[in-house]
Structure 1
């Protein structure tokens, strides 16, 4: 197969036909042809030669040239494709027959007075090759490979921009429960765990799905679809509700139990528009369109509110809420409901509270009014018993302290005396006696804790470390942390506690110093101070190191999840 005048135009015609079929640029196909012809020519002239092919974009004429580059003498390795400036002087002159040129920085050299320079390229034409059967087949494979790569790149760029949107397609086939979908210029996959319930599809069925991810892989771009992703429902509402599309109403959060029930929180930035009513539509037309697409999934549309408690009350609908107690540090919330509302608040198999938790991003504990009353009574009794035993008080006086809001001995010992005097029946002498007894008990506990810590092997470096009480040192020593070096290796969440997510469920990690109400920030400061004292961290970089530590600890916590 020689490149003759008879088939020169066929190159351009073939390039245009392939480009049109694969929907890529003709230039890419022509470049693939040039590359394949150059490889074939190397098999004829020698693999060490730098053979280049240029196809004229108008005539289709293929020009074969041999290139040699000027290099430093010590860098000369390939004598077939390189030569030194001294060797190049013989050829450094204008071409008389137009079959050779000199290039410098990609431009044709016109001034030959200065002699050849390193980096100059000498190109001279060589006779076209006559491709044998093997060479022709190899050239064809190169072209097909390059065209295939260009087609994959085009598909990836096209569908990458469509990630996070809804796409329509036609079912082609089913493979091991996964649905292969024709999406126009490519194929996508809907995995069986991304289908709603027990959906089944037949070839040529039309399907609508959410483009969850687009990945570039060796076998081509992989497009992953989903019908269970919460954002699929959000995008459906965006299609059905013009106010959401226009940005007047915003979807703040979505939680789904695919095929069963979902909750969506919305907010309106126009006081004249009711966000819930707009999403429901006239006679429920808008929400019913979404429900129909989601196989009858029940949808609760909830007004979003910045206040966690108010938002949670809305999210737990249709259950009624009596009281909400929010623990901001633990990102946890307790909800008290009437006894008869408990099953409604929890929902079937915990569905209602689970969706509300996903929607608000909070851990939710639901208690009945009776359970809360029992718990409060138990706390009252335990604190009363503490004051009776530690301060040698009668039951009435101990209950009086608890009723006034005192929860532990530290509050009694170190509170301003005026707060004790505000209690009926307490004079200055009684207040002084109460505080003296509380301090004596605390000092005795401190001495006992210090002796216990030393007995466990705690070293003075840890005992004398500012910020740690003897009780804290005792708790650390019981866990094997006995030196300042041991303490400096701790992560802040190991000391103050934290939360990790395992299999979608948030779990509490108990901190060693959590019983002493040490916050995450305080634990971080203590650990960094210890590292500075040990010379592990430069004090000048303490601020930046603290931020890095926070990021590292966050990564550790995620890794544990």
Structure 2
């Protein structure tokens, strides 16, 4: 192997593999040394050197330079094969190291590749020099990929795996949204508009806080674009994920209400000792500020870097009373200190247990012993309450409340059981004894002919002549005002007609009437 041949090999590897020439020269030197080592004892010190300009190799043994022809004799067929394997291994390692360094510089940067295969949800993406993987955990919900699809993602991590480089991609990281803003919004790419903070729940919703270095440029409007054109392209890339653009402000009094939009905030109370913010809203804004399953307040908290507690004025007053009453039971806790702590946002014993002793001393009126007693008591109470909550959670897990579907099925079963019980009750009635509904129906049917017969009898009685001395009733139940003369009386009788109402009282007995007639 002469110098020109070595130089051609070095140039080819450098061009094809993008490996530094110095690394290739060192690999060849290591290969020659490994092959020559088999012809010398371990005590002899060997050194191989290749001239970087001419490519000629040189070999020294214990400081003595060997003839170039001797190197060719030493590198026989077997030794040359060994040297080749060593050189290939060395080149592979150099190639891996070069790829590793290249993709290390691309961490958190946007890359584009084509899907080569999908294995159990993991997507293999060809990035040209290496194949990267997009794990299922780093994919946006409901995304499906097929071979040949183009994928945009950021480089999440780079690892060495043997002779290969393992590149892990992500589409769920907050930096993916940041890079999309840089690509789709020129003002962001030009650093006129800066993305100050991003809070994201991939596939559902993101909040992006932006600010502008140019007062003449509206940072929110520039990100949204004309009729939402700019933000729409980002939303489409994120598979329909909702994006809220928030105007950044260094003051939490302004930033927190901006982050909680579209809810309207009444007041913001800072609790710097605990790193939390109490936000007061109206009753009709409470659910809007919290968001679905707490998403809005959770993202706002991540965006601002502070814990946010959304409350109404009424619930805050109630919490203050409860906390003051609870802290009053703490040994050596003065009443004024109790109220001061509560006003600083210390609502629970867990809050009190993490306070710094020096901060408690600075509030005044306490000794070091008092502070230690208060913190120790708070630790014990906090641990006790935590155990109770764990026990309650375990009990709820063993006996979870029914889901709406389970409740609906239970109601249907209860209704069916009730109907079945009523049917069995009706079927179990004694034989020959009709059910209540049948008895009522029979009574109603029997009453109809009886009423009909009564009407017929009344009509017949009206057509027949009345008995002696009796005044028949007219049809319709009305009384006849004049009574006909008794049988045997003369038509010219002078006896006056008597009204019905008086006839019943003054009418003489039948025998007396007959004697009088005779």
Normalising TM by the smaller chain, what interval?
0.5 to 0.7
Distance 1:378 1:159, change over 3 A: closer
> Matched residues in 2 for 1:215 and 1:302: separation?
36
Matching residue within 99, 120, 125 for 2:67: 125
> Matched residues in 2 for 1:21 and 1:270: separation?
47
Shift in Å at residue 9 of structure 1? 4.4
Aligned residue number for residue 29 of structure 2: 34
> Matched residues in 2 for 1:255 and 1:58: separation?
56
| TM norm structure 2 | 0.61
Aligned residue number for residue 15 of structure 1: 10
> Matched residues in 2 for 1:28 and 1:473: separation?
63
> Matched residues in 2 for 1:336 and 1:272: separation?
33
State how 1:403-418 maps to structure 2 within 5 Å: 408=335
Aligned residue number for residue 40 of structure 2: 45
Equivalences, count: 348
CA RMSD in angstroms, aligned pairs only? 3.2
Aligned residue number for residue 275 of structure 2: 331
Distance 1:134 1:360, change over 3 A: same
Aligned residue number for residue 366 of structure 1: 310
Residues 277-331 of structure 1, C-alpha deviations (whole Å, 9 max, x = no match): 0100111111111111111111000101112122111111111112222111111
> Matched residues in 1 for 2:336 and 2:55: separation?
95
Aligned residue number for residue 309 of structure 1: 253
* 2:80 partner SS: helix
Aligned residue number for residue 189 of structure 1: 133
Distance 1:53 1:473, change over 3 A: closer
> Matched residues in 2 for 1:322 and 1:44: separation?
87
Whether 1:230 and 2:174 are equivalent positions in the alignment is: yes
Aligned residue number for residue 168 of structure 1: 112
> Matched residues in 2 for 1:236 and 1:410: separation?
51
Distance 1:294 1:476, change over 3 A: closer
* 1:237 partner SS: helix
> Matched residues in 2 for 1:350 and 1:135: separation?
70
Whether 1:468 and 2:367 are equivalent positions in the alignment is: yes
Shift in Å at residue 62 of structure 1? 4.1
CA contact (8 A) 2:93 2:163 kept: no
* 2:199 partner SS: strand
Matching residue within 251, 254, 266 for 2:198: 254
Aligned residue number for residue 400 of structure 1: none
- Higher Cα radius of gyration: 2
Distance 1:330 1:56, change over 3 A: closer
CA contact (8 A) 1:321 1:335 kept: yes
CA contact (8 A) 1:339 1:370 kept: no
Distance 1:52 1:319, change over 3 A: same
Shift in Å at residue 179 of structure 1? 2.2
Shift in Å at residue 57 of structure 1? 5.6
Residues 95-131 of structure 1, C-alpha deviations (whole Å, 9 max, x = no match): xxxxxxxxxxxxxxxxxxxxxxxxxx44343712354
- Structure 2's unaligned 5+ residue stretches are 329-333, 340-364, 383-518
> Matched residues in 2 for 1:16 and 1:133: separation?
24
CA contact (8 A) 2:92 2:163 kept: no
Residues 363-404 of structure 1, C-alpha deviations (whole Å, 9 max, x = no match): 111223442354456679x69xx8xxxxxxxxxxxxxxxxxx
Distance 1:307 1:27, change over 3 A: closer
Shift in Å at residue 199 of structure 1? 1.8
Shift in Å at residue 221 of structure 1? 3.6
Could you tell which deviates more after superposition, 164-173 or 21-30?
A: 21-30
> Matched residues in 2 for 1:350 and 1:467: separation?
39
> Matched residues in 2 for 1:332 and 1:296: separation?
32
CA contact (8 A) 1:179 1:191 kept: yes
Shift in Å at residue 13 of structure 1? 3.2
> Matched residues in 1 for 2:37 and 2:241: separation?
64
CA contact (8 A) 1:172 1:182 kept: yes
Whether 1:152 and 2:96 are equivalent positions in the alignment is: yes
* 1:145 partner SS: helix
> Matched residues in 2 for 1:339 and 1:26: separation?
71
| TM norm structure 1 | 0.56
> Matched residues in 2 for 1:352 and 1:310: separation?
17
